[in-house]
Amino acid sequence: DAKTTQPNSMESNEEEPVHLPCNHSTISGTDYIHWYRQLPSQGPEYVIHGLTSNVNNRMASLAIAEDRKSSTLILHRATLRDAAVYYCILRDRYGNKLVFGAGTILRVKS
């Protein structure tokens, strides 16, 4: 599986946008970019995924670079409930397993 690189931690103020970066320079043409997050003492939660075009859903937006070697998860207005570890993972369209890296710890200040 191609690897991703994320910052260890980031901090944001409540009600401000948050941009979480992810580098994946060895991404293949069939790899989808998936984002999950994990709140303390819970299982991970699916956030969003995409292939080439930017994606939006009720939770977040995913901006994918034109060369697909990097992507950014955007939380439009951070709340205290968004404090979590965010994982950026590559997975082939027909791939099964998700391999988790270290992720980014997001801290949200009130």
Task: Single out the segment in contact with another protein by CB under 8 A; choices: 8-16, 18-26, 45-53, 62-70.
Answer: 45-53
Determine contact, residues 60/42, Cβ cutoff 8 Å.
Answer: no
Site for another protein in 49-68 (CB under 8 A): 49
Q: Is residue 43 within the footprint of another protein (CB under 8 A)?
A: yes
CA distance 48 to 87: 11
Count Cβ neighbours within 10 Å for each residue of 3-28 and write b for 16 or more, e otherwise: ebebeeebebeeeeebebebbbeebe
Residue count at the site for another protein (CB under 8 A)? 23
Report the nearest approach of another protein to the CB of residue 83 (Å): 15
**Between the CA of residue 33 and those of 28, 46, 55, 91, what are the distances in Å?**
11, 12, 11, 7
Report the nearest approach of another protein to the CB of residue 5 (Å): 14
Q: Is residue 5 within the footprint of another protein (CB under 8 A)?
A: no
Residues that bind another protein (CB under 8 A): 32, 34, 36, 38, 41-46, 49, 85, 87, 93-94, 96-103
